[in-house]
Amino acid sequence: MLRKEHYQNINLMSSVGEPNTDVNVDQNFKFHLGQRYQLILAKMNNYKTTKTYSVTTASNIQTYPMPPGLVTVEGGYITVGSVNFPLTPILSRYDWEQLHAIMIQASALPQFYFVNQDTFEIWPTPQDAYTGKIYYHFRDRNLGVEDYTSGTVTCTKDSPIISIATGAFTSAMVGRWFSVTDTTAPGQGYWFRITGYTDTTHITLGGIDGTAVPWPFDTTTPSSYVIGETPELPEEMHVILSWGTAADYFGSMRKDPEAFRQYDNLFWTGDIANDSRDWTNTKIAGGLIGGINSYKDRDSRTIIRRKPKLNPLQYKVFATTLS
């Protein structure tokens, strides 16, 4: 869909309403689609771009690897027994080193984390194997894979398993999205995330956390379908990707500065004549800036104490008491 919108924007549609095949334009589109998508993900910290990462600590090990594609860490917890103890972020190296100067019992429970470039550290150092979760905003892979539509599928009511009659599923489809395209089939047009691959004839639908999502509609007869990639963004923001790629096309291949400016304005503000790039302008309702404004209060930051004030005596007593 993004590819078709892009070609419509740059007026390269065929007489039958499909994109004209042009290898150079396609390569330009895919390259700039990746760049614009990563730019949006870097700016959009909201519930649509949040994942969880399972952590298992080890005795006397303080440093752990970051999940792939991480942009920022939003918070986390360590589970001891049946209790989830939240981890508080430390935002400066000075405060982190100050924590390490505190004398504390070796059995103290983990309370803080500090983010490095590719790893994060936990303090106090875990003295046992605990499990936990890290909540983080992720950088998605670039959207360069063509849609897959071969064969027909059957979706069974109340089952998360999708079976294919002809064609073949692959393990690489995990993480992409599935939709029935047969207009006579129940559930046509709704999108579901693929979270599991059993074999070439069976895949599983689910949530981003791996929870199975059963097909909620009546069982379908063998139906046409599509498996493809889609941006991990609020749905109304998908269109700005096609505006961004059109801007880059006019700015690079076509050397048309006026068309570049207009589409770049659409990308940032949703207004073809608005050259503003003011992130704090709450009057901008469209484009990337409008999306940031719309979703800035719909993330999970309210549960995180961003600037903790260190009180060594308090935390020493807390840790000693619970250990």
Average pLDDT value over all residues in the chain: 86
Give the residue, 166 or 154, on which the prediction is more confident: 154
Q: What is the pTM for the complete model shown? A: 0.72
**Which one, of 210, 223, 150, lies nearest residue 174 by Cα?**
210
* Dist CA 23 CA 7 (whole Å): 13
Neighbours of 27 (CB within 10 A): 12
Q: Are 10 and 246 in contact, with CB atoms under 8 Å apart?
A: yes
Q: Which of 204, 113, 213 is nearest to 163 (CA)?
A: 204
* Tens of pLDDT, residues 45-76: 777 778 888 999 998 899 999 888 888 888 89
Domain boundaries, the chain: 51-140
User: Which pLDDT does position 302 carry in this prediction?
Assistant: 37
The yes-or-no verdict on residue 310 having pLDDT over 60 is no
Structural contact between residues 197 and 205, judged by C-beta atoms closer than 8 angstroms: no
Whole-angstrom CA distances from 136 to 72, 76, 120, 186 are 6, 9, 12, 35
What is the Cα–Cα distance from 109 to 318, expressed in whole angstroms? Answer: 9
* Cβ atoms 249, 32 nearer than 8 A: yes
138: pLDDT confidence band, cut at 50, 70 and 90?
Answer: confident
pLDDT in tens, 182-206: 999 999 999 999 999 999 999 999 9
The per-residue pLDDT for 13 is: 83
**Mean pLDDT, range 30-39, rounded to an integer:** 92
Q: What percent of the chain has pLDDT over 90?
A: 51
Query: Rounded CA gap, 201 and 163, in Å?
Result: 5
Q: Which tens digit of pLDDT belongs to each residue from 91-130? A: 899 999 988 887 666 567 888 999 888 899 999 888 889 9
DSSP notation for 27-56: HHHHHHHHHHHHHHHHH--SGGGEEEEEEE
| Closest among 122, 109, 111 to 64, alpha carbons compared | 122
153 Cβ contact list (under 8 Å, min separation 6): 162, 163, 164, 165, 180, 220, 222, 223, 225
pLDDT of 263 above 50: yes
